[in-house]
Amino acid sequence: MGLLSLGTPLPWLESRQYNEHVRDNGVQQLLYSFKAAYGRKNDIFYWGDELEFIMFKFQNHDGEGQNAVLTLESDDVLTSLNNEDISICEANDVLFHPEYGRYMIEATPASPYEGLNTEYVENNMQIRRKLVEQRLAGRGCRLAAMAVFPRMGCEDFSDIKNVWDHHNNASKSLYLPDEVTNRHARFPTLTANIRTRRGEKVNIQVPMYKDKFTPYRDDSVYKRDWFEPEDSESVLAAKPGYIYMDAMGFGMGCCCLQITLQAPDISKARYVYDSLANIATIMLAATAASPFFKGWLADQDVRWNVISSAVDDRTPYERGVAPLLPQSNNGHGSSIKANPQRIPKSRYSVVDLFLGGNEFFDRSFNDTDVPLNEKVLETLQSNDIFELDYDLARHFSHLFIRDPLVIFQERINQDNLTSTDHFENIQSTNWQSLRFKPPNQKATPDQKDAPGWRVEFRTMELQMTEFENAAYSCFIHIITECLLTFSHEINPYMPMSKIWENMEIAHRRDAVLEQQFHWKDDLHGGRTSLSNMDHVFHNVKSGLFPQFIDRLLKYKSMVTESWRELVKSKDSSNVRLFYYLKLISDRATGNLPTAAKFLRQYVLSHPDYSQDSRVTKEINYDTLKVADRITHLDDSNGELTKFFGGEIANYIKSCTK
Ligand code: ADP
Ligand code: MG
Ligand code: MG
Ligand code: MG
Ligand code: MG
Ligand code: MG
């Protein structure tokens, strides 16, 4: 999320008259960007990560037990970090960004990294956390590095008093007050516009973990009489055996780890995007860290489909279902579109199409049902500014089936030669597992200050420690460098339909241990087999370690055979890399637990747990305490050792002395 546009965001029924205007001009802006930047060559392999954190506090009530609650009153910390503290941030090479949740803070390096320096990356991440922690300490708040806050949406989950003495008009949720949402007008408008376009509240269903005394259905669903018809929807929407959630905040309030990588030119960027498509589904399962939602243990380990449903603005017609209530108006799609399309997927989802443009690509790999905006497809291929080839045009014309969700009154008319707001309006609300980030109109071949062609890797779940977040970031960096280096040897393609299936499989509880994923037999042909995670990571012919990690490390003369040699390196940054890779390898074999498994086990074995899948306030408090100790590398209760195993825990502890 870059700078937020200032101005007046239009409510849906007023903004939709400009939808086609935004698309038409967005296409022009994209074409001018292509015209400027198409010829860029040899851009540096810059890269960077994004971490999202949760601001919260521990509460100890006399005689009433303990709880941990989100703080919805500490967002001024972000304002300070971007204003009076900006020089401290610059000096430390860190930058803070707003996120959907008022309790959230996103943090990135201020300038992208160049090369792989594990210590720099991890240290930079640590400084980001510490700077926020220092500012929160004075008010009794803390920062959690957790993908999901266990009791968000339950009784007493925030520090706002009398939170239900007024109505929550943006989300109309039974559970989340509008105060969970960032104060900037863009965010409540986004929330309301998605709901209005859809014609119903969003409807999020997560399978509930089934234990001995788990109730038949989510018993927090109730009938209220604030909003008609929304308050009548929930009872109809909630399904037995599922955790029911009804607001954007449940999804966009989760925390992820994203990596952006710059390719030397557009053709390599397309190749990297296509190559990472399947790896992104694998890495969602490998980084699983979300075993609970809204006070219930879930029968899945990841956040992805929660966000997907949380921002699903499709009308019932587009989804191909009947509205929940007969009196519903079937949503408020674009008034201009005469013939609405059926749309199989939410705008937050796994990638839809390979971009192609290289020797290995064959159009038959794009074998899924992907609706296109035919007008955009036509314009992108035939215009006076810059003509895109069919495969690239197809990618963008799919993104342009979506409506812009928030339009600022003051930004309706733009100069397409210099602005990209309209393009970004569509692009940045197509939240997919990867994002192909084109440069802007400034990025001519000689203007190296302007970013070039980038790919963003968006599936990974935020981990509790910088050690892990840096490990996964560096892992993706090495894989991408390998792809860039061996782009004429590695054929990454398999049918897109199998990647979609992998995304479903990645959601299942303990997918790392229990599930099989579509994976290529070798990196030459198109044959795939169902493979367990150990095979995906370690098999000699196509595994991530032998074929990507070892291949690159050997090429760079960092090892002769295997990454395991790094442990003996004289360079402490490489020794750290060894432990990063060991963590990832041991999680793939099941020798070490994912964060999801570890946290689930913690809840299941908590003395206050009653075999009913409920995460009580006591359990929530203690879970946040454990996570807090792990984040701070505090092994006083042996949790660090349990989580990382003795060898890695000892290494981590030896470095903090
Ligand atoms: P968004 O939220 O749109 O994904 P952010 O600005 O939050 O964007 O994060 C972008 C990430 O990309 C940061 O880690 C940043 O350091 C990194 N980055 C910035 N410029 C480049 C570049 N030219 N190439 C690769 N990565 C970059
Ligand atoms: Mg960001
Ligand atoms: Mg963002
Ligand atoms: Mg973010
Ligand atoms: Mg991002
Ligand atoms: Mg206790």
Q: Determine the Cα–Cα distance for residues 499 and 516; give it in Å rounded to an integer.
A: 12
Q: Is the dihedral of CA 273, 277, 278, 280 positive or negative?
A: positive
Own/partner pairs, 550-559, CB within 8 angstroms, 24+ separation? 551/482, 551/486, 552/478, 552/481, 552/482, 552/485, 553/478, 555/482, 555/485, 555/486
pLDDT over 80 at 616, yes or no: yes
Q: Determine the Cα–Cα distance for residues 634 and 622; give it in Å rounded to an integer.
A: 15
pLDDT over 60 at 1, yes or no: no
Q: For residue 208, what are the β-bridge partners?
A: 298
Ligand nearest to the CA of 256: 4
Ligand 4 centre to CA of 99 (Å) is 6
Ligand 5 centre to CA of 435 (Å) is 9
pLDDT digits (tens, 9 = 90+) for 214-239: 999 999 999 999 999 999 999 999 99
Ligand 1 atom closest to the CA of 435, numbered from 1: 4
Ligand 2 centre to CA of 457 (Å) is 12
Quick one: average pLDDT of 314-328? 90
Categorize the per-residue pLDDT at 338 as very low, low, confident or very high, splitting at 50, 70 and 90: low
pLDDT value at residue 5: 62
Ligand 1 atom closest to the CA of 97, numbered from 1: 7
Question: Which is more confident, 341 or 433?
Answer: 433
Q: Determine the Cα–Cα distance for residues 204 and 186; give it in Å rounded to an integer.
A: 22
Ligand 1, atom 14, residue with closest C-alpha: 48
Supply φ then ψ for residue 454, to 5 degrees. Answer: -125, 155
Residue 76: its H or E element: helix 76-82
Q: Are 46 and 440 in contact (CB under 8 A)?
A: no
Categorize the per-residue pLDDT at 335 as very low, low, confident or very high, splitting at 50, 70 and 90: low
- Length of the chain, in residues: 657
Number of neighbouring beta carbons within 10 Å of residue 151: 28
Q: Determine the Cα–Cα distance for residues 69 and 157; give it in Å rounded to an integer.
A: 5
Question: Which is more confident, 180 or 337?
Answer: 180
pLDDT digits (tens, 9 = 90+) for 164-195: 999 999 999 999 999 999 999 999 999 999 99
User: Is ligand 1 within 6 A of the CB of residue 101?
Assistant: no
The share of the chain scoring above pLDDT 70, in percent, equals 98
Q: Determine the Cα–Cα distance for residues 86 and 81; give it in Å rounded to an integer.
A: 6
User: Is ligand 1 within 6 A of the CB of residue 74?
Assistant: no
For the chain, the 3-state helix, strand and coil shares in percent, each to the nearest 5, are 40, 15, 45
Q: Are 221 and 273 in contact (CB under 8 A)?
A: no
Ligand 6 centre to CA of 69 (Å) is 15
Q: Determine the Cα–Cα distance for residues 253 and 107; give it in Å rounded to an integer.
A: 15
Q: What is the DSSP string of 595-617?
A: HHHHHHHHHHT-TT--SSSB--H
pLDDT over 80 at 657, yes or no: no
Categorize the per-residue pLDDT at 404 as very low, low, confident or very high, splitting at 50, 70 and 90: very high
Report the mean per-residue pLDDT for the chain. Answer: 96
Task: Give residues whose Cβ lies within 5 Å of ion ligand 5.
Answer: 50, 258
Categorize the per-residue pLDDT at 4 as very low, low, confident or very high, splitting at 50, 70 and 90: low
ipTM (interface predicted TM):
0.96
Quick one: average pLDDT of 284-306? 98
Q: Are 587 and 593 in contact (CB under 8 A)?
A: yes
Ligand nearest to the CA of 52: 4
- Give the Cα-Cα-Cα angle 435, 10, 2 (nearest 5 degrees): 35
Ligand nearest to the CA of 46: 1
pLDDT over 90 at 619, yes or no: yes
pLDDT value at residue 2: 45
Ligand 3 centre to CA of 23 (Å) is 20
pLDDT digits (tens, 9 = 90+) for 531-581: 999 999 999 999 999 999 999 999 999 999 999 999 999 999 999 999 999
User: Is ligand 1 within 6 A of the CB of residue 46?
Assistant: yes
pLDDT value at residue 94: 98
User: Is ligand 1 within 6 A of the CB of residue 424?
Assistant: no
Question: Which is more confident, 292 or 63?
Answer: 292
Q: Are 397 and 376 in contact (CB under 8 A)?
A: yes
